[in-house]
Amino acid sequence: MTDSTPQHHRLIILGSGPAGLTAALYSARANLEPLVLEGAQPGGQLTITTDVENYPGFPEGIMGPELVDIMRQQSQRFGSIHRYEVAEEVVLETRPYRIRTDTAEYSCDALIIATGATAKQIGLESEAELMGYGVSACATCDGFFFRDKEVAIVGGGDTAMEEAIFLTRFASKVTVVHRRDELRASKILQDRALANDKIEFAWNRQVVEILGNKKDGVSGARLESTVGEEEVTLPCEGVFIAIGHRPNTELFAEVLTTNEVGYLVVDEPTTRTAREGVFAAGDVMDPSYRQAVTAAGSGCKAALDAERWLELQE
Ligand code: NAP
């Protein structure tokens, strides 16, 4: 941090997914004029999904990016301030709290952390090398490039099933590579994927290498057996990774308490963290539900907690 005087706000919200934007709506309506630092992925993970069918109020479903756009418009109507900046340093040891972004410095009395989570990678050298060259972590962003091609998707959860189904719009065949013989995904998505003629399953298999090069793209994946069978090579031109997420807590992990898998710990049922006036909402503190609607709900709770805490400081 520099010595210059930072712009002061009573409440700053880090993150702009459904948690951050709902916190912005509630705190804006409480006249707190919150500053929302939108972060590296404005709108959060909803911006890389297509149809959201389970957010209440939209009987026909709604596209993820549209949902966050209208959430943002709703909170701006009540005076939330939005900056497309990424927080790079957060000082929580002294008050007022200070935040340095890529372009400015701010201070605040209360802070809501709604920085969400990021897609995990398997951790293979070939995966890192070919990311963007046939390997992708976002079917909705990149599926279009695989028209009439065979692709693989790694994972057995809701994301993997949803993305596998989405990919069948373009790909000629989608192989789900899952390390067990049972899916983790919800029943409705399992049933849809299992009934889809274009989707095949490579059960009890783990990708150990993605074959190909940057010039020609992906040509296949080496699949090890998790139950002692022979290794096989799956020919494919795209590999999509959908193996879950890790919470975005790098900026606070040393100051705030995290659980064994890195999620921020709050004083349930509130959204209070171990620091006075610092609250957490959404995927960054929720290892269990991780839904847009639960994120929005916890964003609402964080705004109410922050508002009550600020009142007590006056
Ligand atoms: P998830 O539920 O954590 O599932 C991750 C999947 O990847 C699991 O099947 C896991 O295998 C597998 N996996 C993890 N690490 C792996 C590795 N290193 N190598 C190979 N496979 C690995 O994550 P998610 O599917 O992203 O879903 C996250 C949350 O969002 C869930 O709560 C989900 O319900 C929700 N979500 C909901 C919807 C919807 O309702 N429409 C859509 C998307 C996501 P194991 O099963 O063996 O652990």
Residue 247 and residue 285 in contact, taking contact as beta carbons nearer than 8 Å: yes
DSSP 176-205: EE-SSSS--S-HHHHHHHHH-TTEEEETTE
User: Distance, CA 108 to ligand 1 centroid (Å)?
Assistant: 36
User: Distance, CA 186 to ligand 1 centroid (Å)?
Assistant: 10
The more confidently predicted of residues 111 and 4 is 111
Question: Active site includes 138?
Answer: yes
Q: What is the pLDDT of residue 253?
A: 82
Domain boundaries, the chain: 7-118+245-313, 121-241
Query: How does residue 3 score in pLDDT terms, banded at 50, 70 and 90?
Result: low
Q: What is the pLDDT of residue 53?
A: 85
Joined together, the tokens standing for residue 151 give 């692709």
R_g over Cα of the chain:
21
Q: Which atom of ligand 1 is nearest to the CA of 186?
A: 34
Closest by alpha carbon to 270, among 293, 303, 247? 303
User: Distance, CA 299 to ligand 1 centroid (Å)?
Assistant: 23
Residue nearest to atom 28 of ligand 1 (CA): 244
Q: What is the C-alpha to C-alpha distance for residues 44 and 68, in angstroms, rounded to an integer? A: 8
Instruction: Give me the long-range contacts of 94-102 (CB less than 8 A, separation at least 24).
Output: 95/276, 95/277, 96/8, 97/12, 97/277, 97/278, 98/1, 98/6, 99/6, 99/12, 99/14, 99/37, 100/1, 100/2, 101/37
State pLDDT tens for residues 105-142: 999 999 999 999 998 999 999 999 998 899 998 887 78
Q: Which residues of 251-265 are buried (b: 16+ CB within 10 A; e: fewer)?
A: bbeeebebeeeebbe
Q: Which atom of ligand 1 is nearest to the CA of 123?
A: 18
Alpha-carbon distance values, 232 to 51, 175, 228 (Å):
34, 13, 12
Span 7-118+245-313: which CATH code?
A: 3.50.50.60
State pLDDT tens for residues 224-267: 999 999 999 999 999 999 998 899 999 998 899 999 889 999 99
7-118+245-313 and 121-241, same CATH topology = yes
Side chain identity at 113, as an amino acid letter?
Answer: I
Residue 308 and residue 30 in contact, taking contact as beta carbons nearer than 8 Å: no
Query: How many residues are present in the chain?
Result: 314
Average of pLDDT values for 76-102?
A: 97
Joined together, the tokens standing for residue 56 give 């209440």
State pLDDT tens for residues 256-301: 999 988 999 999 999 999 999 999 999 999 988 888 999 999 999 9
Question: Active site includes 142?
Answer: yes
User: How many Cα atoms within 13 Å fall on the side-chain side of residue 1?
Assistant: 17
Q: Which atom of ligand 1 is nearest to the CA of 161?
A: 25
Q: Residues 121-241: name the CATH superfamily.
A: FAD/NAD(P)-binding domain (3.50.50.60)
Under the phi-then-psi rule, with left for phi > 0, alpha for psi from -120 to 50, and beta for the rest, what region is 43? Answer: left
pTM: 0.81
Highest mean pLDDT among 35-49, 73-87, 140-154, 277-291: 73-87
User: Distance, CA 154 to ligand 1 centroid (Å)?
Assistant: 10
Joined together, the tokens standing for residue 53 give 């069918």
Of these residues, 142, 283, 286, 305, which one is catalytic?
142
Q: What is the pLDDT of residue 314?
A: 74
Residue 280 and residue 302 in contact, taking contact as beta carbons nearer than 8 Å: yes
Joined together, the tokens standing for residue 299 give 């964003």
Q: What is the pLDDT of residue 2?
A: 67
Which residues have C-beta atoms less than 6 Å from ligand 1? 54, 122, 154-160, 162, 179-180, 184, 206, 243-245, 290
